[in-house]
Amino acid sequence: MQDTTTQTALKAQAKRLRKALAETGTEVSHSRALELVAQSIGARNWNTVAAQPQPSLPTWHIGQRVSGHYLGHAFTGRIHAASARSAGWHRLTIDFDTPVDVIKSAHFSSFRRRVSAVVGADGRTVEKTSDGKPHLALV
């Protein structure tokens, strides 16, 4: 998979985008290509990307043991898949050692053995439960 976490990688992507557009007859400046790449990763503009600290090597790797909380339930498990997203964000798939019941109802259960989520450098998702806690929080 292509590294999309560094400014260098994003600049290279902008260069490829500019070339591909030119081949279809659409000329764009390098600065416009940078803006388009920035927007494609969810940033407002290139200045927002440039202002972000450069990430270090990925914190998460396949096979790594992790623990934390998923939908309010404590868990331990192993990272099944990990991929870098935009600066500081990673998509993780975690295999729980013991399945986690994701339903709070006393009438039925729904156990999850594997979940995927995008976490920041702090190991927390942006998405939150109704009580304001992250869906997934690694410790």
Of 105, 76, 136, 1, nearest in space to 9 by CA: 1
Q: Which pLDDT score, from 0 to 100, does residue 121 have? A: 84
CA 32 to chain CA centroid, Å, is 25
Q: What is the pTM of this model?
A: 0.58
64 pLDDT above the threshold of 60: yes
103 pLDDT above the threshold of 90: no
| pLDDT one-digit tens code per residue, 8-37 | 888 888 999 999 999 999 999 999 999 999
Instruction: Answer for the pair 137, 124: CB distance below 8 angstroms, yes or no.
Output: yes
**Range in 17-21, 30-34, 70-74, 85-89 the model is least confident about:** 85-89
Instruction: Answer for the pair 124, 134: CB distance below 8 angstroms, yes or no.
Output: yes
Output the furthest CA–CA distance in the chain (Å, rounded): 61
Copy the structure tokens of residue 51. Answer: 């202002």
Outline where the chain has alpha helix (H).
7-23, 30-40, 46-51
